[in-house]
Amino acid sequence: MAYIFSSAALLISVLSFFVILFYVKKRTATDRIPAETRQEVANIINEIDRITDRDSELIEDRVKKLKSLLEDIDRRIAVHEKQRDNYRAAEDAQKKLNEKKINAAVETYRDLGKNMLSEKNFKPQPLSVSITEDNPKYTGMSGHDAYIKKSAELSAAGVPVQEIAKRLHKTVNEIEVALFLSSRHRG
């Protein structure tokens, strides 16, 4: 019986040796390593492709955003240049008007106002001019001509420029230009 156990143990040991030997050969086989390496390299390449595609999409999105920002900047620059040109044209027109005022022999409305205030017995006239749009005095005139005439009448009545601007809902500069044009028409 002792032989049976010894022979069974020997048989189990031999079988275990061959199983372990087969397992070790399988794990260390040279043709298995390149296959696993190829699979790992293929997985790495697939991951790099996926990341590259995602990054290229992000770059394309950023390029589109950058293009739209550049277009917006170009539009803003064009608007700024147009405003700058308009400002320069307005400055040139103002210079020309000022030169014509200086060279004109007729007193300007400011000089007239100063002369009226310097007179000893000057009393401002009560305002008798109706400045409503439906006044028959201004029918047949364009809105521009009517407001120039209204400005001149109010100024002749002794109303200050700021008050005229407020009453006619115009800026002080518009009223000054209207009064200048009115004095040119009269002179």
pLDDT of residue 113: 55
Condensed to tens digits (0 to 9), the pLDDT of residues 155-187 reads 888 889 898 888 888 888 888 888 888 877 665
Condensed to tens digits (0 to 9), the pLDDT of residues 35-77 reads 778 889 999 999 999 999 999 999 999 999 999 999 999 999 9
Domain ranges of the chain: 33-103, 107-186
Distance separating alpha carbons of residues 108 and 148, to the nearest angstrom: 15
Distance separating alpha carbons of residues 176 and 165, to the nearest angstrom: 9
Condensed to tens digits (0 to 9), the pLDDT of residues 84-114 reads 988 888 888 888 777 765 544 444 555 555 5
Task: Please tell me whether the overall predicted TM-score, pTM, comes out greater than 0.75 for this model.
Answer: no
